[in-house]
């Protein structure tokens, strides 16, 4: 009887010791593919990181009630502006075009420019922007006639700009800006243009 009890205790002790010394096995958890979050940005987020605007010179609409028609043609030159910003850092570029026809429906003036632009958000309504760029201006002065031909002035432009923009709503905003322009060409000069032109901007990808 004593031998049987010793034998039973030996078996129990061996079993307990063996259980404690067996290393634990790591388990593998299967995660469904749809629940894995990718670190790569989605196509929608990349598209939303860029914001485009198209702007129109409102001087032609306001000239009936304000003296915009007294401003020289060269100063009111940019009729259409396209801007695009990276919304992460508010940096981007803009392209501007302008043209004017004479009383005989002839092209009297044409201008083009491209600028790097940066804006800073002041509050929910106001933005401050500034930048620099280059451009081209072609102007036919009707008062400068040589041998029955109107002389054409061609100037390459280097310019700085800075201004303020007021956000009316999520789609529309208005802006005014100053320009410091160096003209090189037919009529080389340094020009400072005051903020007399109001531009209306409309967001494209809302």
DSSP SS3 for 67: helix
CA angle 78, 82, 87 (to 5 degrees): 135
Q: What integer is the mean pLDDT of 74-79?
A: 67
- pLDDT of 109 > 90? The answer is no
| Selection from 175, 172, 179, 140 nearest residue 157 by Cα | 179
Other beta carbons within 10 Å of 4: 8
Q: What integer is the mean pLDDT of 82-87?
A: 94
Which H helix or E strand runs over 44? Answer: helix 43-48
pLDDT, residue 60, reads: 72
- Measured CA to CA, the distance from residue 87 to residue 50 in angstroms comes to 6
Residue 71's pLDDT band (cuts 50, 70, 90): low
Q: What integer is the mean pLDDT of 117-145?
A: 88
| Tens digits of residue pLDDT in 33-51 | 554 444 555 544 545 588 9
Contact 200, 54 (CB under 8 A): no
pLDDT, residue 100, reads: 79
Cα–Cα distances in angstroms (integers) from residue 73 to residues 50, 99, 106, 144, 180, in the given order: 33, 9, 14, 15, 17
- Measured CA to CA, the distance from residue 164 to residue 120 in angstroms comes to 10
What's the whole-number average pLDDT of the chain? 77
The residue that leads in pLDDT, 14 or 82, is 82
- Measured CA to CA, the distance from residue 6 to residue 139 in angstroms comes to 117
| Tens digits of residue pLDDT in 141-188 | 666 555 455 678 899 999 999 999 999 999 999 999 999 999 999 889
Residue 21's pLDDT band (cuts 50, 70, 90): very low
- Measured CA to CA, the distance from residue 199 to residue 79 in angstroms comes to 9
- pLDDT of 68 > 80? The answer is no
The residue that leads in pLDDT, 52 or 99, is 52
Question: Which domains, ranges and CATH numbers included, belong to the chain?
Answer: 74-203 (2.40.160)
Q: Which sign does the torsion angle of CA 172, 174, 179, 183 carry?
A: positive
Share of the chain above pLDDT 90, in %: 43
The residue that leads in pLDDT, 190 or 103, is 190
pLDDT, residue 107, reads: 75
- Measured CA to CA, the distance from residue 169 to residue 171 in angstroms comes to 5
């Amino acid at each position: 009887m004593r031998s049987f009890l010793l034998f039973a205790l030996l078996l129990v002790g061996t079993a307990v010791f063996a259980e404690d010394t067996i290393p634990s096995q790591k388990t593998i958890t299967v995660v469904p593919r749809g629940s894995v979050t990718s670190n790569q940005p989605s196509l929608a987020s990349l598209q939303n990181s860029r914001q485009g605007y198209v702007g129109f010179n409102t001087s032609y609409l306001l000239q009936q009630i304000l003296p915009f028609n007294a401003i020289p043609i060269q100063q009111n030159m940019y009729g259409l502006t396209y801007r695009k910003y990276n919304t992460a850092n508010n940096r981007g570029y803009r392209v501007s075009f302008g043209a004017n026809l004479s009383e005989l429906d002839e092209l009297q003036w044409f201008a083009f420019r491209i600028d790097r632009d940066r804006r800073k958000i002041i509050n929910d309504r106001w933005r401050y922007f500034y930048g620099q760029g280059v451009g081209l201006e072609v102007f036919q002065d009707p008062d400068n006639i040589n041998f029955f031909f109107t002389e054409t002035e061609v100037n390459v432009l280097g310019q700085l700009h800075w201004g303020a923009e007021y956000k009316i709503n999520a789609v529309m905003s208005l802006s005014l800006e100053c320009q410091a322009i160096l003209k090189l060409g037919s009529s080389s000069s340094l020009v400072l243009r005051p903020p007399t032109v109001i531009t209306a901007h409309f967001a494209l990808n809302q």
